[in-house]
Amino acid sequence: MKLSAIALFISAATATPVNELVKRTPPNIPSAASAISMLASLTVRTSDPSGYDRNLFPHWITISGSCNTRETVLARDGTNVIQASDCSAVSGSWYSPYDGATWTAASDVDIDHVIPLSDAWKSGANTWTTALRQQFANDLTNPQLIAVTDNVNQAKGDKSPDLWKPPLTSYYCTYAKMWVKVKSAWSLSVKSAEKSALASMLNTC
């Protein structure tokens, strides 16, 4: 599988509001019906390969000008975001759909890999090239990256939906749709328990 290079225009001028430029949500979230169909087609694996190392997934690469992936997602997912000349977010607010919290400091927000990098490794990325793993870790085309409360993201860690779900049950549907879409787009496998958990979450849609 080969994905095209990602390009996204983000204004990085001092005191420039950027959120009018892009939609404040991860892109390409499928309908529930599409997600259910995608889930049914995913390969179920019975074992996990070893050898994961986060450095095998180069992330927070430059996207446009001086803006890296994290800064690009902060601009996309926030409200009234103002960026300095180096593209860092100096003000704005960020609503975390995982837990319903709103933050006004970018330092309180993490960019979550919806499919954790270690889960991707176990799901098939162990056979990819480093270049392909870099594309995955910085994927702005699929709903793989989202700004959320930092300690909620840390609590999630590398857990799949059978072991962790967003604190807000009202977000189960969207979370499952994003998870399934990314796994389908990248031809990644699922565990049996993971597939069952996703099916249950999609039933809340």
| Alpha helix (H) residue ranges in the chain | 32-41, 69-77, 117-123, 130-137, 150-156, 172-185, 192-202
Specify the pTM: 0.88
Q: How far apart are CA 156 and CA 58, in angstroms?
A: 20
Check: CB of residue 25 under 8 Å from CB of residue 77: yes
The segments of the chain whose pLDDT lies below 50 read 1-23
At 91 the three-state DSSP class reads strand
Sequence length of the chain is 205
Q: What is the predicted pLDDT for the residue at 25?
A: 81
Q: What is the predicted pLDDT for the residue at 189?
A: 98
The DSSP call for residue 178 is H
Q: What is the predicted pLDDT for the residue at 22?
A: 37
Q: What is the predicted pLDDT for the residue at 24?
A: 64
